[in-house]
Structure 1
Amino acid sequence: MTVALRDGRRSATSWCRRHTIGGDGAVAAARRGQRSGEATGTLSRDQELELIETLRGAYPDQLGLDDELWTRQSVAALAQRRYDLPADADMSGYLRAWGLGPRQPTDRACGLCVDSVATWVEQEYPAIVRSALEHRADVWWIGRTRLHGVVPAADVLSAISARGRVRFQIATPNVDPPLPRDFLLRLSGAEGRTLHVVVDGSWTRTEWPRRLPPRIVLHPLPSCGR
């Protein structure tokens, strides 16, 4: 329980921040001291952009992969198939560069809501954890970030579990799209796993999907509405 609460505090603070992703090409390779396309297992900038375009608005199972939402493993499988990367090629650096990882974002925390989020984590979140344990449910934190450095710009819907698992979707261009029902259903999986989902301030309550199955329970994270 202590670990879950600690993870919850980090996730709550994380999702209370608005952050951007993207940048000049093959950021992950550059962070390893490599130039784009020079090392085995890295993508050129053109390949990176092409991969993002392939992911945009698509689900893995639509491209012949097993996952219902994108993961590090499914992105790696797609990149290996399209660009003849080695089987041990790791996409973790690219996902981190795109802002998709179980870590604290580097942007400034929103001072208007961080205190209320911390209080919520202390007073409300433990009951969610207890209910999840009682019903053998998964706990996820879900939010939306903006993918920059590509044209057209796109929102990235990202779900991070209390155990650090990441599931995401790069949305098709839209203006402030509502929280997609299909994303939550796919997060629950074909087997219909029970979920407790903490939703950040990316969407108002009126933008939440209606008539969700009872197995998917949404919890609003305190937000200043920014």
Structure 2
Amino acid sequence: MAAVRRGVRQSEPGALSREQELELIDTLRGSYPDAFGLDEELWTRQGLHALIQSRFGLPLDPGAIGAYLRAWGLGPREPRERACGLCVGAVERWVRTEYPSIIRAAQEHLADVHWIGRIRLRGTMPAADIISAVSSRGRVQFMITTPSVDPPLPRDFVLRLSGEEQRTVHLIVDGSWPRNEWPRRLPRRITLHPLPSCGRAVAA
């Protein structure tokens, strides 16, 4: 069964067929937009729309791309939605006590804030993970990987969030990766913050 069966129907004009959707996912695995001549560091709604048009020649409505992203599990989520049931309380306390200082630091340095997480994309063979970064303004950037055993947070993904302009960024990482799986020796313009999870939950 294809990954996208919610939000976009196959019978809709310009909708991807099951085979085309799976081909698209395979094309995205481990690739970045610049490999296709697109002026983006990571995949976005606009980049995905351009790739679909060039690869399949479909007159897909730009709004339909959002339906595909939602079906893939991408989009803004509340902090509590990024926590397991055991960690919701710790995350809510973190939002009250720690998150405001991150926002102040970002404002002081004219920095962007992104929430980073990972989800498994169902209905694909081999399996696929989507690593996403959602900005505090709701902009979604992502990449698709083929999961391996305990894959670390990709260093290249983190660096690309800073962009060619080398923007200062604050990245809030959910429990998908423990800290020993974070990239090391990052530039000082990139700061990673752990969202409380079962392994590092804030004490009551």
Normalising by structure 2, what TM-score? 0.90
Residue 10 of structure 1 corresponds to none
Residue 148 of structure 1 corresponds to 122
Residue 72 of structure 1 corresponds to 45
Letter aligned with residue 67 of structure 2: G
Residue 181 of structure 2 corresponds to 207
What percent of counterpart residues are identical?
Answer: 65
Residue 12 of structure 1 corresponds to none
Pairwise CA distance, 1:49? 0.5
Pairwise CA distance, 1:158? 0.6
Say if 1:199 and 1:218, in contact at 8 Å, map to a contact too: yes
Residue 112 of structure 2 corresponds to 138
| Alpha-carbon separation, structure 2, partners of 1:25 and 1:182 | 26
* 1:73-117 residue CA offsets vs partner (Å, 9 max, x unmatched): 101100011111126443111111001111469x89622111011
- Give 1:54's match in structure 2, choosing from 1, 5, 27: 27
Letter aligned with residue 52 of structure 2: A
Residue 163 of structure 1 corresponds to 137
| Alpha-carbon separation, structure 2, partners of 1:150 and 1:104 | 27
* 1:138-169 residue CA offsets vs partner (Å, 9 max, x unmatched): 00110111111000002211100110000001
Aligned CA-pair RMSD: 2.0
* 1:147-200 residue CA offsets vs partner (Å, 9 max, x unmatched): 110000022111001100000010133122101111011011000010011111
1:43 and 2:21 are equivalent in the alignment: no
Normalising by structure 1, what TM-score? 0.82
1:177-216 matches, within 5 Å, as: 177-216=151-190
Residue 75 of structure 2 corresponds to 101
1:27 and 2:5 are equivalent in the alignment: yes
Question: Measured at CA, do residues 47 and 133 of structure 1 come closer, stay the same or move farther in structure 2, by a change above 3 Å?
Answer: same
Query: Any unmatched runs of 5+ in structure 1?
Result: 1-22
Say if 1:178 and 1:207, in contact at 8 Å, map to a contact too: yes
Residue 4 of structure 1 corresponds to none
Letter aligned with residue 67 of structure 1: E
